[in-house]
């Protein structure tokens, strides 16, 4: 069985600062994918970034980067230069390699302050 753990229920960050949202995972599958989604108050889940278990490089997408540490089974999301619009719920998720089912964590509520 796959499990995602997000231990930070809430985080605060100052505008323009960087913030790291933690995610650890547990799986026995050698092939898997890790995702981060953003869920603003409007409710829609917005895909941010993806990391495959065999990817050698850490994924980056604009201001988002994924700090993938396979031996520690962690996949932390780093948001650089935080903006007020980054305030939202952030979910880490995992899927088996070749599969489609996403298993989500419980989320971290991020608040960006002036």
Partner 1 sequence: EAGVVQSPRYKIIEKKQPVAFWCNPISGHNTLYWYRQNLGQGPELLIRYENEEAVDDSQLPKDRFSAERLKGVDSTLKIQPAELGDSAVYLCASSQGQGIIEQYFGPGTRLTVT
Q: According to CB under 8 A, which one of 28, 30, 43, 71 is a site residue for partner 1?
A: 43
93 binds partner 1 (CB under 8 A): yes
| By CB under 8 A, residue 101 contacts partner 1 | yes
DSSP assignment of the chain: --EEE---SEEEEETT--EEE--EEE---SSEEEEEEEE-TT---EEEEEEETT-SSPPEETTEEEEEETTTTEEEEEE-S--GGG-EEEEEEEEETT----EE---EEEEEE-
Stretch near partner 1 under the rule CB under 8 A, chosen from 21-29, 39-47, 61-69, 76-84 = 39-47
Q: Tokens 């980067």 — which residue?
A: 65
Taking CB under 8 A as the criterion, the residue among 72, 85, 98, 114 binding partner 1 is 98
The least distance separating partner 1 from the CB of residue 47, rounded to whole angstroms, comes to 5
Residues at the contact surface with partner 1, assessed by CB under 8 A: 4, 33, 35, 37, 42-47, 50, 91, 93, 98-102, 104-107
């Amino acid at each position: 069985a796959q499990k995602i753990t997000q231990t930070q229920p809430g985080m605060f960050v100052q505008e323009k600062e960087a913030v790291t949202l933690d995610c650890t995972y547990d799986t026995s599958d050698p092939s898997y994918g890790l995702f981060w989604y953003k869920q603003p108050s409007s409710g829609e889940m917005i895909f941010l970034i993806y990391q495959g278990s065999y990817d050698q490089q850490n994924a980056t997408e604009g201001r988002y980067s994924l700090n993938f540490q396979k031996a520690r089974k962690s996949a932390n999301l780093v948001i650089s230069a935080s903006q007020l619009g980054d305030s939202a719920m952030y979910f880490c998720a995992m899927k088996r390699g070749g599969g489609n089912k996403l298993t989500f964590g419980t989320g971290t509520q991020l608040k960006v302050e002036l």
